[in-house]
Amino acid sequence: MNRGAPSGRTRDLALVLPVFGTLALVPPFIGLFARPGMAVAGIPLIVVYLFGLWLALILAALVLARRLAKDDGAPDGTDG
Amino acid sequence: MTLRDLALLVAVGFALLLFLIAFLGDRASARGRGQRWIASPVVYTLSVSVYCTSWTFYGAVGSATRDGLEYLTIYLGPTLVFIGFWSLLRRILRISRRDNITSIADFISSRYGKSDAVAAIVTILALLAAAPYIALQIKAIATSFQVLGAATEDPTGSAAAILDLGVAFWITVGLALFTILFGTRSVDIHERHFGVVAAIAFEALVKLVALVAVGLLAVYGVADGPGDVFARMAASTVDAEETFAMRWVGLILLSGAAVICLPRQFQVAFVENEDERHLFTAAWLFPLYLFVLSLFILPIAIMGQAILPEGSNPDMFVLTMPMAAGRIDIALLAFLGGFSSATSMVIVSCIALSTMISNHILMPLALRSKALPLSGSGDVQRFLLVSRRVAICFILALGFLYLRTGATAAGLASIGLIAFAGAIQVLPALLGALYWEGANRRGALLGLVAGGSVWAYTLFAPNLLAGAPWWDALAQAGPGGIGWLRPGALFGMETDDPLMHALFWSLAFNTLAFVAGSLSRLPTPIERLQAALFVRVFEERGDAGTLRGRAATVDQLFDLAQRIMGADRAYGIFRRYAESQGQASTFPTVDDGFIAHLERRMAASVGAASARAMILSVTGSETISLDELVRIADETARLMRHSDEVTRKSDEIERAAAQLTAANDRLRSLDRQKDDFLSQVSHELRTPMTSIRAFTEILAETPDLDPAERRRFIGIINAESIRLTGLLDEILDVAVVESGDGGHPLEPVDPERALDQALDACLGLTRAAGVRVERTRGTDDIRVTGNPARLGQVFINILSNAIKYGRSDDPVIRVETRVEEGTCIVAIADNGPGIPAAEARIVFDKFTRGRTGETVQGAGLGLAISHAIVARFGGALRLVSSERGARFEIALPVV
């Protein structure tokens, strides 16, 4: 354990986030939202889903990066 | 002035502005000022956005028009890679910064034993893949010129379907000049270009503003808000069945890999990076940039289709839609955005590729043929500059030639995807470099060659050569008539998607060859060392050994360094290192550390493989010496020691935990004993109290009690009171002895006499119990420290214990004395059932009563009091044996 190393949970989340993002973006999951004719406020459901998910991933990355940056004291540290 | 002239003027003015920004950026960083804006995470993120070329700016709208939501894959892939920056990007960045990596080819060759061959193959592959990509940019700029030029007579842009090669040629020449002036003004020590980064960051902003402006015009100018946009959307645009299949997944993988593997992306993300922490911002800001661009592409595609006539070129909607809407100003802004995206891509690609060509192809050739004029100061530097300029011209010429073949007739996006598929052939070698220590040079070479060949055969060649009769015949029948080798249907895999077909087979062969090649032999020492340095980058401690001979003199090294970096810079490096060694002279002592340092600095100019070759030419040790092998062994041993230490520490912790548990158990048992004792004491105090109360009540309530009876009752009350007092005395005694026993001063005591007195006192008890006492005198006229009364109390206590508990058919108590090393030992042993081990441990604790299963009287404080008394005399009371009867030993210091 190194002083200043990010907490294990944050790092685990950082590893899992892209995996989660990938699963949510590929079939079969994405097929749930690719329903012709379904729309939210005139915008097709699939468009809302894709851009909404995208934005959520960006926000999650923002929060994680902030936390990791705060914890990751020295760039030359020896944490892994 | 026609619109075309205006566009030309704007383009030239814009280029001048870029020069100004680049100039200011270089100057600010040279003076160490302006770090705040150039070296900011936002500028870093914007420079990474060079990912969005004119393929994005113009082509994505075309792609969205043809294939609906598929265009999103090109931006979702990089998004996934960047939000997952922690595991992959950070690793590459850390290594690149540590080793002064100059390009992706340098990175990969560095990992696989600093191999020239690996670097050269990566370079050639990158060059092949770049040709269509650069052709795409030239085509986009040329087409945008043509569209603007013909705006009045042909607002749909369909005339531009036939590319004007003359325009394209002059654009190519302009780009070459522009890039040479921009990127090769000097050979930077870190291969970093602050001015260029500032300029492309600015271009990234222009792209964004321009596309958002066109997008807003589409949503609120042409259409009536988002709802209206989607109301006019063709149903096929979001056709889910078509879009979300294998191709969707494949394209996300392709683009995600490309955002790392493309030479220009590697350049901006890892080589030009100023601070590792910028990645923490780019991790979300770059995906956000892509998000915003993608968001506005869809409405532009929908509204372009809606308002432009049938047959309009969808790749130019970004330009033609504002024109059709009568907004020439926005059209010009869009032109500038397209110009920005194309030029920034060309500049960075050319810088990255020319560095690779000069470092990994021209330099090794020159070194081998000894053609390099290594005579004066800065020779190598001049050679590098010239070779890079030549390389830039060569790259752009290649792009133009690709354009001329007419292979770019397809949409912008499909040309870009061909380049992507070529560039990501380094992916297996790259991932292997980062995560698999067993990967070696043979595997990397085989994988790159296999993947590159399959890509070239199944995707690059068909695109380039389609229309040539010999190729068409081959593509129809297969080479030599072998049907299952047809480039479009390898092994009979018939598909209508040549990209996915090529991607699958090339990556499959690539990975297979890479793994098989790596497993086919053991890594060499230098591969093993580099593998450890790459895979375990976050475990690095100190400067792990690099492998150099020590035969070089400092003069030779300086001679070499000044040829490559120029005399001033070389002098600076030598002097600073000498200072860090604490030397008074200018030149440092040549040790492994210095040679490794120098090699890294040189690697920043010429790449790892060339720097190593040059250093080796001076140090003269081509193979690793015994010394160095010993060092590698030492390093391994150190690692193993470290791991042993960790194991040992964890053992210690376990032991400590066990001790804590034991102590805790003991505390619990003590606590339990105390509770037991309290309840026992209160019970025993209660019994006499109850009887005293009962008899006093009888006496009080029965005045006419018969006097004899009365006397008997008073006698009982008296006896009970005495018992009660004795009990309380005993309890008090413990407290007194424990708190210091102030009333009994220490003096010399004859132990034999004290023992005799104690035995006499117990005579009544022994007789009553029928116990035989065997007395042995082992001392002669000695004195021990103690107090006669207290010592007698101890002996009586232990004797009475022995009498009480030492029950057997023929009870015997053996009393012995002896002197051992200045200590008088009095042993009192019975031949009763003994004391079980579990009880032996706690027999001297307070409140411990009786032996298992026995009912005895007393508060159970005897041994505790005795123990405390002997301890106060400076001696010890021990229970020595408890197998065949209990044996107590009282050790007392002889005066």
Which DSSP string corresponds to B291-327? HHHHHHHHHHHHHHHHHSPTT--GGGHHHHHHHHTT-
Contact B267/B423 with Cβ under 8 angstroms? no
Tell me which of A29, A58, A71, A78 to substitute to probe the interface with B (most B C-beta atoms closer than 10 Å): A58
Q: Which of B273-277, B340-344, B523-527 has the lowest mean pLDDT?
A: B523-527
- Higher pLDDT: B79 or B113? It is B79
- Higher pLDDT: B357 or B25? It is B357
The number of distinct structural domains making up chain A is 1
Which residues in chain A have their CB less than 8 angstroms from residue B226's CB?
42-43
> Does residue B627 have a pLDDT over 60?
no
Contact A79/B90 with Cβ under 8 angstroms? no
Task: Look at residue A76 and tell me if it is in a domain.
Answer: no
Contact B796/B761 with Cβ under 8 angstroms? yes
- Higher pLDDT: B16 or B553? It is B16
Confidence tier at B285 by pLDDT (50, 70, 90): very high
Task: Look at residue A53 and tell me if it is in a domain.
Answer: yes
How confident is the model at residue B577, as a pLDDT?
84
- A34 interfacial to chain B (CB closer than 8 Å): yes
Domain definitions of chain B by residue range: 3-440, 541-624, 628-738, 747-893
Contact B88/B265 with Cβ under 8 angstroms? no
Task: Look at residue A67 and tell me if it is in a domain.
Answer: yes
Task: Look at residue A77 and tell me if it is in a domain.
Answer: no
Which structural domain range is residue A33 located in? 8-71
Longest dimension (CA), chain A: 54
Q: According to CATH, what is the number of the domain B628-738? A: 1.10.287.130
Q: Reduced to 3 states, what is the DSSP secondary structure of residue B812? A: strand
Contact B54/B134 with Cβ under 8 angstroms? no
- A54 interfacial to chain B (CB closer than 8 Å): yes
- Axis crossing angle, helix B427-435 with helix B525-535, rounded to the nearest 10: 80
Measured in angstroms, the CA of A6 and the nearest CA of chain B are apart by 11
> Does residue B529 have a pLDDT over 90?
no
- A73 interfacial to chain B (CB closer than 8 Å): no
Q: Which two tokens stand for residue B388?
A: 């890079």
Measured in angstroms, the CA of B78 and the nearest CA of chain A are apart by 10
Tell me which of A47, A51, A71, A79 to substitute to probe the interface with B (most B C-beta atoms closer than 10 Å): A47
Class of domain B747-893 as given by CATH: alpha beta
Q: Reduced to 3 states, what is the DSSP secondary structure of residue B704? A: coil
> Does residue B259 have a pLDDT over 90?
yes
> Does residue B546 have a pLDDT over 50?
no
CA dihedral B205, B211, B214, B217 (to 10 degrees): -80
Task: Look at residue A3 and tell me if it is in a domain.
Answer: no
Q: Which two tokens stand for residue B574?
A: 């030598």
Identify which of B240, B275, B540 has the shortest CB distance to residue A36.
Answer: B240
Alpha-carbon distance of B16 to B568, in angstroms, equals 32
Query: By C-alpha distance, which of B77, B192, B42, B76 is closest to B423?
Result: B77
DSSP designation for B546:
P
Task: Look at residue A58 and tell me if it is in a domain.
Answer: yes
- A1 interfacial to chain B (CB closer than 8 Å): no
> Does residue B775 have a pLDDT over 90?
no
Q: Which two tokens stand for residue B138?
A: 């030239």
> Does residue B483 have a pLDDT over 90?
no
Which residues in chain B have their CB less than 8 angstroms from residue A10's CB?
none
Q: Which fold has domain B3-440?
A: Sodium/glucose cotransporter (1.20.1730)
> Does residue B631 have a pLDDT over 80?
no
Q: Reduced to 3 states, what is the DSSP secondary structure of residue B115? A: coil
Task: Look at residue A50 and tell me if it is in a domain.
Answer: yes
Alpha-carbon distance of B455 to B509, in angstroms, equals 10
Whether residues A27 and B238 touch (CB distance < 8 A) is answered with no
SS (H, E, C) B580-636: HCCCCCCCCCCCHHHHHHHHHHHHHHHCHHHHHHHHHHHHCCCCCCHHHHHHHHHHH
Phi, psi at residue B824, to the nearest 5°?
-95, 125
Task: Look at residue A79 and tell me if it is in a domain.
Answer: no
DSSP designation for B539:
G
Q: How many CA atoms lie within 13 A of B327 on its CB side?
A: 19
Average pLDDT over residues B83-92: 88
Alpha-carbon distance of B293 to B536, in angstroms, equals 37
Tell me which of A33, A62, A63, A76 to substitute to probe the interface with B (most B C-beta atoms closer than 10 Å): A62
Q: Which two tokens stand for residue B481?
A: 């008539």
Alpha-carbon distance of B340 to B21, in angstroms, equals 14
How confident is the model at residue B740, as a pLDDT?
60
Query: By C-alpha distance, which of B187, B202, B181 is closest to B47?
Result: B202
How confident is the model at residue B549, as a pLDDT?
43
Q: Which two tokens stand for residue B818?
A: 């002896």
Q: Which of B57-66, B245-254, B870-879 has the lowest mean pLDDT?
A: B870-879
How confident is the model at residue B324, as a pLDDT?
87
Q: What is the DSSP string of B474-528?
A: HHHH-GGG-GGG-TTSGGG---S-HHHHHHHHHHHHHHHHHHHHHHHSPPPHHHH
Which residues in chain B have their CB less than 8 angstroms from residue A20's CB?
none
Average pLDDT, chain B: 82
